[in-house]
């Protein structure tokens, strides 16, 4: 465990439709992550920000500013056919 806390991550996926000759496929999945902050370090705020993937600019598309909390969680869904 680091001084900042620890993370738990999980990912589940399935392939409910798969046909070799017909070329059909359906992939579904779900991923989640939860970060637990160290109780001694709760006075350090979290911050979420991002910029364009092209990196042509340093302008931030999203910037939450400082957020207080004991942890953070994310969930993502996957679907591919």
Q: For the chain, 81 residues long, give each residue's pLDDT as a single digit of tens.
A: 346 678 899 999 999 888 878 788 899 999 999 988 777 766 678 888 998 888 888 889 999 999 888 888 999 999 998
Indicate if the alpha-carbon torsion angle 31, 62, 52, 44 is positive or negative.
negative
**Contact residues for 63 (Cβ-Cβ < 8 A; gap 6+):** 47, 48, 49
Q: Domain map of the chain by residue range?
A: 5-80
DSSP state of 40: G
Does pTM surpass 0.85? no
């Amino acid at each position: 465990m680091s001084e900042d806390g620890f993370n738990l991550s999980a990912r589940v996926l399935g392939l409910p439709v798969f046909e070799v000759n017909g070329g059909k496929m359906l992939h579904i999945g779900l991923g989640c992550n939860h970060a637990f902050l160290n109780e001694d370090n709760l006075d350090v705020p979290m911050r979420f920000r991002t910029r364009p993937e092209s990196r042509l600019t340093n302008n931030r598309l999203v910037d939450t500013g400082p957020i207080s909390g004991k942890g953070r969680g994310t969930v993502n869904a996957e679907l591919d056919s």
